[in-house]
Amino acid sequence: MATTFTDDDLLAALRAAAGGDALSTAAYERHRSTAGGPSVAWIIRRFGSWRAACAAAGLPTHARSARAATWSDEQLIGYVAAYLADLEPGARSSFAGYSAWAATQDGAPSGATVRARIPWAEARRHAESHASEA
């Protein structure tokens, strides 16, 4: 049976992980690995973005990173290719899956960053062809 989280449950999970500080998706996932709770992807789906979820929880938010603009399309596709390579055999790839994976990878661009520059289906297609050429 699937677990259902209310908005209050999601916001409480964010507050517990943050301890009143700004909270990155990577820090949240580290907290979640021991405390359990909803995934980053689940929270983003409910609130529309990580920043919106943190704001709703009353947490300080980080300014957008200037680094986001420094990734080339090839680098973004390389991260998507790395995500695809990390999938278990037979597992399906998805934007939500990439977003959750990226949150656990130091320095990886978020799913939102990838999708803002390259439509997800296109990024995945390029990453798949990139991997088959290697």
CB neighbourhood size of 9 (10 A)? 14
* CA 17 to the chain's CA centroid: 16
Kindly state whether residue 94 falls inside one of the protein's structural domains.
yes
One domain for residues 38 and 73? no
pLDDT tens-digit series, residues 27-75? 888 898 899 889 888 888 888 888 888 889 998 876 555 455 578 889 9
Q: Which domain holds residue 127?
A: 67-133
User: Residue 13: pLDDT above 90?
Assistant: yes
Distance CA 90, CA 121 (A): 18
Kindly state whether residue 25 falls inside one of the protein's structural domains.
yes
Q: What is the number of domains present in the chain? A: 2
One domain for residues 14 and 52? yes
Instruction: Kindly report the pTM of this predicted structure.
Output: 0.52
